[in-house]
Structures are given as C-alpha cells and as structure tokens.
Amino acid sequence: MKERKKFEVIKSLSEIMQKFNVFKDVLFTIVDIKLPKKGGYLRVYLSVFPEEKKNDFVSYFQKISSTIKNELKKEVYLRHLPSKIVFYTSKEFEEAERVYKILEKIKNEEKSK
C-alpha cells in the first residue's frame, strides 16, 4: 500500500511542478521522495538538466513549496500531511558520471600498456 501511495504522490507532484515551472528550458525528473511518518518534511529528490540551472530551479520551487503543498493536498489524500516540502538535487547521476570517468581512465591505461 505504501508504494502505491508513493507513486501517486510522485505522479501528482510532477504534474503540479510542471504546471508551476517557469523554467521552460529545464528538464526535471523526480527521482525519489521520502514520505514522513507524521507531519514531518516531505523530501523530494530531483534530477535537473542542464546542471547549471539546478540551484535556481531548486530555490524557485523551495520558495513556492507552500503553494505546491496546497495543490498536492487537493490531489492526493495523505493521512498525515507533511508540514513542509523540501527539494534536493539528486547526486546519483553525478556519482555515476564520476565512476564512469574513473573506469574509462583505467580502461585507457590498460590499453596503453
């Protein structure tokens, strides 16, 4: 049941954020969310492209988080509403790219031997 609720929240949150998105040249994806047990913070992890605009993008949505919370409340029933929505950028892609570069470097070193 929890996974279904999480999927509903991600779907609704994505549609709401798309509606309020003023950055038309930015592509974003909700990578993960952490639902609070009782009234805590709803943590939303985003992947933002291009990377240069991720700070502006996150700070904009941080400013309008109360509006987004109210819209989410209309869309999805949550027994315990989060007191606040907090946005973070996901570091998974940065780490994956760093590991990929290290592997490529090792591969190139082995070829040169």
Residue 31, classed as helix, strand or coil, is: strand
The pTM of the whole model exceeds 0.85: no
From 27, 62, 31, 65, select the one nearest 48 (Cα to Cα): 27
Residues 5, 2: Cα–Cα separation, whole Å: 5
Per residue in 39-65, pLDDT tens? 789 999 998 888 888 899 999 999 999
Selected residue with higher pLDDT from 81 and 26: 26
Q: How far apart are CA 32 and CA 10, in angstroms?
A: 8
User: Distance (Å, rounded) from C-alpha 51 to C-alpha 48?
Assistant: 6
Residue 90 above 90 pLDDT? no
Please, which residues have CB within 8 angstroms of residue 96's CB and are 6 or more apart in sequence?
none
The average pLDDT across 62-70 equals 94
Amino acid 93: pLDDT: 66
Higher pLDDT, 33 or 91: 33
What is Dmax (Cα atoms) for the chain?
Answer: 63
